[in-house]
Amino acid sequence: MPARITNWAGNIVFAAEQLHRPDSVEALQAVVAGSERLRVLGTGHSFNRIADTPGDLVSVADLPIRLELDDAARTVTVSAGTRYAEVTAFVQDAGFALHNLGSLPHISVAGACATGTHGSGTGNGVLGTAVRALELVRPDGELMTIGADDPRLAGAVVSLGALGVVTALTLALEPSFDVAQVVVDDVLHQALLADLPEVMGSAYSVSAFTDWADPLRWQVWRKHRIKKGGPVPASDLLGGRLADGARHPVPGVDPVHCTQQLGVAGPWNERLPHFRREFTPSSGEELQSEFMVPLLHARAAVEAVAEVRELIAPLLMICELRAIAADDLWLSMAQGRESLALHFTWVRDEAAVAPVVAAIEARLAPFAARPHWGKVFTAERDALRLLYPHWDDFVALLADTDPTGKVRGDFVGAFFPH
Ligand SMILES: Cc1cc2nc3c(=O)[nH]c(=O)nc-3n(C[C@H](O)[C@H](O)[C@H](O)COP(=O)(O)OP(=O)(O)OC[C@H]3O[C@@H](n4cnc5c(N)ncnc54)[C@H](O)[C@@H]3O)c2cc1C
């Protein structure tokens, strides 16, 4: 019997027995047109059943690689299965940059954009805000382009894979820039909370980590955008001290796979992710959850989570706070509101983690928390639809693009029944 297909974390065994890997767009169109039920799988870095189907599972990883720079338009068009590591190396070589990156560069561009994947920075939108056009194979097998002036683009970027199979994305670029990363250890809880939005805005990209154990301390990672050869801004230590060596987000783990810290400047693509592209983790013994609340409720939201820290700490590898700029993408977790993201990396014990995730969701519900579409959460349709002003617009887009629900899957279908 062939080995079953799993996600990266190994907690999801996909119901599909076979993964189609077409090597041309025409072959992909034939697979889609000939299928009764289909989902597309990216690099499998989601932690829930969002990519699952008992029908046909299809990958775009073997489509011909596209990395097409348009200097004048300042865009790059990439094939959907391309991983950020490949795109960023290509655009950096050409003197350009993407505005931001997630923590791991090994995730596919299409899969990341489809779930609203983000990095950090009060001025930085989710990665999908860079999308200027999408090419996709619709559920009927027809190829379709949604361009920058098409009002459907705002609904099609964070698509949850429910509009069809994206084959290419055109991303906005800016001139390449340098980043210097500085870590501050042992930041005091009250010092961090005194003005959390200010701390989150204190560098181009800021992450604050804690394990919620006693004594409660935070580690603040600031990624400063600097002029080539220019100075690195002095760090507000918030009661802590500058790290005297490289750090891994998870206490006690060797930082060898982390991007360069200690204020050493380097290209954006080698500093914005937490992890180096040379290091390719093939699987992970972890689960992740993440919730976005309006940044103006940052302090109250963190205090609400602190109320259940005794439940959290025993199952937690690390908690990370990040900031996200407001955007206009219909299903983005930062749609319409500057956001604080509260992230939790858990030990891989789904049964133990589920009630703790539910407890966190209950604490964050008063702040209209939106869960990350690609991570572990328990919220259901009735709760989530109230949190997204464009929910019904997405319903209409789905009805138009996929009237029979052929590519929706059970997970997305539970939120968007047809
Ligand atoms: C170690 C690790 C670090 C992470 N870091 C971050 C982070 O910093 N920030 C963050 O926000 N998230 C982060 N995530 C979550 C991750 O970015 C999302 O789960 C993302 O969706 C994974 O992309 P993927 O290509 O693996 O997609 P998959 O998990 O394979 O699929 C996710 C969704 O995308 C759809 N999809 C994939 N490809 C296509 C396509 N070609 N066309 C249409 N739909 C498609 C699928 O159908 C599915 O609905 C992390 C995950 C891991 C494992």
Q: Which residues line ligand 1 (CB under 6 A)?
A: 8, 39-46, 50-51, 60, 80, 102-104, 107-108, 110-112, 114-115, 117-118, 159-161, 165-166, 284, 372, 374
Number of domains in the chain: 1
Looking at the predicted structure, is the pLDDT value of residue 2 above 80? no
Q: What is the pLDDT of residue 229?
A: 86
Among candidate residues 82, 94, 104, 269, the one with its CA nearest the CA of residue 169: 82
In degrees rounded to 5, what are phi and psi of residue 261?
-115, -145
Q: Is residue 166 part of a domain?
A: yes
Distance CA 310, CA 222 (A): 28
Q: Is 114 left (phi over 0), alpha (psi -120 to 50) or beta?
A: alpha
Looking at the predicted structure, is the pLDDT value of residue 282 above 80? no
Looking at the predicted structure, is the pLDDT value of residue 257 above 70? yes
Looking at the predicted structure, is the pLDDT value of residue 202 above 60? yes
Q: What is the pLDDT of residue 392?
A: 98
Looking at the predicted structure, is the pLDDT value of residue 260 above 80? yes
- Answer yes or no: are the C-beta atoms of 31 and 137 closer than 8 Å: no
CB burial of 235-274 (b: ≥16 within 10 Å; e: otherwise) equals beebbbeebeeebbbeeeeebeebbebebebebbbbbbbb
Distance CA 378, CA 59 (A): 27
Per the prediction, the chain carries an average pLDDT of: 96
The pLDDT-based confidence of 283 (bands split at 50, 70, 90) is: low
Q: What is the pLDDT of residue 334?
A: 99
Average pLDDT over residues 177-181: 98
Q: Is residue 137 part of a domain?
A: yes
Q: What is the pLDDT of residue 278?
A: 87
Q: Is residue 136 part of a domain?
A: yes
Q: Is the dihedral of CA 77, 82, 87, 88 positive or negative?
A: positive
Of all protein residues, whose CA lies closest to atom 27 belonging to ligand 1? 111
- Answer yes or no: are the C-beta atoms of 294 and 338 closer than 8 Å: yes
Q: Is residue 298 part of a domain?
A: no
Looking at the predicted structure, is the pLDDT value of residue 160 above 80? yes
Q: Is residue 246 part of a domain?
A: no
Q: What is the pLDDT of residue 51?
A: 98
- CATH code assigned at 91: 3.30.465.10
Pocket test of ligand 1: the residue of 57, 101, 104, 276 to mutate, having most ligand atoms within 8 Å of its CB, is: 104
The pLDDT-based confidence of 228 (bands split at 50, 70, 90) is: confident
Looking at the predicted structure, is the pLDDT value of residue 355 above 70? yes
Q: Is residue 167 part of a domain?
A: yes
- Answer yes or no: are the C-beta atoms of 74 and 96 closer than 8 Å: yes
Distance 403 CA to ligand 1 centre (A): 25
Tens digits of per-residue pLDDT, 374-406? 999 999 999 999 999 999 999 999 999 999 999
Looking at the predicted structure, is the pLDDT value of residue 280 above 90? no
Percent over 90 (pLDDT), the chain:
95
Q: Is residue 303 part of a domain?
A: no
DSSP string, 34-57: H-SSEEEE-S---SSGGG--SSEE
Q: Is residue 81 part of a domain?
A: yes
pTM to 2 decimal places: 0.98
Q: Tell me which H or E stretch contains 27.
A: helix 25-34
Helices (H), 35-128: 84-93, 109-114
Looking at the predicted structure, is the pLDDT value of residue 144 above 60? yes
Pocket test of ligand 1: the residue of 20, 40, 272 to mutate, having most ligand atoms within 8 Å of its CB, is: 40
> In this structure, what token pair is assigned to residue 176?
């390449």
Tens digits of per-residue pLDDT, 25-35? 999 999 999 99
- Matching residue, tokens 């700029």: 325
The pLDDT-based confidence of 18 (bands split at 50, 70, 90) is: confident
Q: What is the pLDDT of residue 281?
A: 67
Instruction: Name, in order, each residue with C-beta under 8 angstroms of 286's C-beta and a sequence gap of 6 or more.
Output: 9, 317, 345, 346, 347, 348
Q: Which domain holds residue 141?
A: 67-175
